[in-house]
Amino acid sequence: MSPSLSVVSDNKVGALPRSEALSTRVRRLQAEAKGLAREHIAALVAALHEAEALSAEIAEGGEAYPAGIRDIARRLAEEVESKVATIEAINARN
């Protein structure tokens, strides 16, 4: 049988260097999270604009689309427009 082997570190274990205060790190991470949230909201608004345009196209598509679908698409286009305005107003306050 082979003898048991173990790894032994010759590094001294000490306190980790303090590069920034905890409160500074928290503020930095919060600012980063808010920036990412703004990007996410912008992506949502862009997707809603795309959905609004697609809904309007279907609503105006004529007889190729079933009447119920055209009606839903028309209402959706109207609702999306007001929801985007609300999101943008809320986002402007923050």
Residue 84 lies in a domain: yes
- Mean residue pLDDT of the chain comes to 89
Residue 65 lies in a domain: yes
Report the alpha-carbon distance of residue 56 to residue 74 in Å, rounded.
6
The first and second tokens of residue 14, run together, are 């000490």
DSSP-based three-state secondary structure for 60 = coil
As for how many domains the chain has, the answer is 1
- Per-residue pLDDT band for 10 (boundaries 50, 70, 90) equals confident
Q: Which residue has the higher pLDDT, 7 or 60?
A: 60
> Range of 93's domain?
44-94
At 2, which helix (H) or strand (E)? none
The first and second tokens of residue 6, run together, are 């173990």
Residues with Cβ within 8 Å of 76's Cβ and at least 6 positions away in sequence, in order, are 51, 52, 55
Please say if the pLDDT value at position 60 is more than 60: yes
**So what's the pLDDT on residue 4?**
74
